[in-house]
């Protein structure tokens, strides 16, 4: 059997042995002479060659990996920021557009007012007349009160004066009648709820715009005896809440109450002294 016809062992690697494998055979397993490199047989040279090649490739691989990771991280952050900014922008645009659409719908849902249906503007004189009648419905009022109400509603002065004069001519405005009603409802002589004396009633009528001469005429109709009796009733009512205070304190409070209601000091001290004595309490000397 010739060399070319020699059977080949399939378990043997036909490739030549590496140079760093330490094989000293000068012939391969196939029987053919092996090509020997310059460093064949020197294992340390082969190890050094592989080691240097690994060290050169490792840093580049590590740097490439780090740069790739950093680039991926930056791209991820950029993508996330772009998505969040896009969401914020879309929300802002959506909100502003929604508000504009809502305003347009609300304005579109309200048709413009029909001026023909509203009719002509009201006459200032008619408006002023209505105001005066409404004010006089509940109770009597002085001319000054009604004039102040018209001025508050911005009725022109000439219209207000003309209407007030007209109402006074027909008797709808009467300051003297108003003063009598006021005194009877708040004064002592008429048994009013406030039991005010002449001085207090005079001040109130002046604030209402009633002429002093008219007010004096009405106040002169008050009976002095009725005024004194009203003072006594006020003191008796107040004494019920002064049972736990001394006489000096009770006298001071009672006289002060009567003074605030317009009663003179002489009448006030006289009534308080008599009522304290009638209730079993002695009234001290006011000069002490």
Is residue 142 in some structural domain?
yes
CA 87 → CA 82, 95, 106, 164, distances in Å? Answer: 9, 12, 28, 70
Question: Does the residue 153 lie in any domain?
Answer: yes
Domain span at residue 141? 123-173
pLDDT, residue 22, reads 47
Number of domains in the chain: 3
Residue 184 shares a structural domain with residue 142? no
Distance (Å, whole) CA 39 – CA 33: 17
Per-residue pLDDT of the chain (288 residues; tens, 9 = 90+): 444 444 544 444 555 555 444 444 444 444 455 555 554 555 566 656 666 655 555 444 454 444 544 444 544 454 455 455 555 554 545 455 555 555 555 445 566 655 555 545 668 899 999 999 999 998 899 999 999 999 999 999 999 999 999 999 999 999 999 999 999 999 876 555 688 999 999 999 999 999 999 999 999 999 999 999 999 999 999 998 888 888 899 999 999 999 999 999 999 999 999 999 888 765 445 544
Predicted TM-score (pTM) of this structure: 0.54
Residue 210 is assigned to a structural domain of this protein: yes
Q: What pLDDT is stored for residue 42 in this prediction?
A: 57
Instruction: Give φ, ψ of 5 to 5 degrees.
Output: -95, 0
Q: Are residues 190 and 242 in the same domain?
A: no
pLDDT of residue 47: 59
Output the pLDDT for position 165: 95
Q: Is residue 232 part of a domain?
A: yes
In a domain, 22, yes or no: no
154 & 191 share domain: no
DSSP the chain: --STTSPP-TTS--SPPPTTS----SB-TTSSBPPP-TTTT-HHHHHHHHHHHHHHHHHHHHHHHHHHHHHHHHHHHHHHHHHHHHHHHHHHHHHHHHHHHHHHHHHHHSPPP-HHHH-SPPPHHHHHHHHHHHHHHHS---HHHHHHHHHHTT--HHHHHHHHHHHHHTTS--HHHHHHHHHHHHBTTTT-SS-B-HHHHHHHHHHTT--HHHHHHHHTTS-HHHHHHHHHHHHHHHHTT-TTS-HHHHHHHHHHHHHHTT--HHHHHHHHHHHHHHTT-PPPPTT-
Query: Do 168 and 179 share a domain, yes or no?
Result: no
Give me the pLDDT at residue 274, please.
92
**Domain-ending residue, one of 113, 148, 173:** 173
- pLDDT value at residue 84: 52
Give the pLDDT score at 272: 94
Residue-level pLDDT at 51: 63
In a domain, 111, yes or no: no
First to last CA, the chain: 165
Q: What is the C-alpha separation between 125 and 3, in angstroms, rounded?
A: 143
Q: Are residues 220 and 184 in contact, defined by beta-carbon separation less than 8 angstroms?
A: no
Give me the pLDDT at residue 102, please: 54
Mean pLDDT of all residues in the chain? 73
Structure tokens that stand for 23 in this block: 């094989």
Final residue of a structural domain among 222, 237, 252? 222
CATH number, residue 183: 1.10.10
């Amino acid at each position: 059997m010739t060399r070319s016809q020699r059977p080949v062992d399939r378990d043997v690697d036909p490739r030549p042995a590496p140079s760093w494998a330490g094989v000293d055979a000068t012939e391969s397993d196939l029987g053919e002479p092996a090509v020997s490199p310059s460093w064949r047989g020197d294992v340390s040279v082969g190890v050094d060659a592989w080691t240097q090649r690994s060290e050169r490739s490792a840093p580049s691989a590590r740097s490439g990996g780090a740069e790739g990771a950093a680039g991926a991280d930056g791209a991820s952050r950029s993508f996330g920021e772009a998505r969040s900014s896009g969401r914020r922008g879309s929300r802002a645009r959506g909100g502003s557009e929604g508000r504009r659409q809502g305003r347009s719908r609300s304005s579109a849902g309200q048709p413009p007012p029909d001026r023909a249906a509203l009719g002509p503007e009201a006459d200032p004189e008619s408006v002023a007349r209505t105001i005066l009648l409404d004010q006089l419905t509940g109770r009597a009022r002085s001319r000054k009160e009604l004039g102040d109400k018209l001025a508050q509603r911005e009725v022109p002065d000439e219209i207000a004066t003309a209407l007030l004069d007209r109402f006074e001519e027909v008797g709808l405005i009467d300051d003297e009648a108003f003063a009598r009603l006021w005194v009877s409802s708040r004064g002592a002589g008429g048994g009013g709820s406030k039991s005010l004396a002449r001085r207090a009633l005079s001040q109130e009528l002046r604030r209402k715009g009633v002429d002093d001469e008219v007010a004096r005429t009405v106040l002169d109709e008050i009976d002095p005896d009725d005024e004194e009796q009203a003072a006594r009733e006020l003191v008796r009512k107040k004494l019920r809440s002064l049972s736990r205070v001394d006489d000096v304190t009770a006298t001071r409070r009672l006289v002060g109450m009567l003074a605030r209601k317009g009663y003179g000091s002489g009448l006030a001290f006289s009534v308080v002294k008599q009522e304290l004595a009638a209730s079993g309490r002695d009234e001290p000397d006011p000069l002490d």
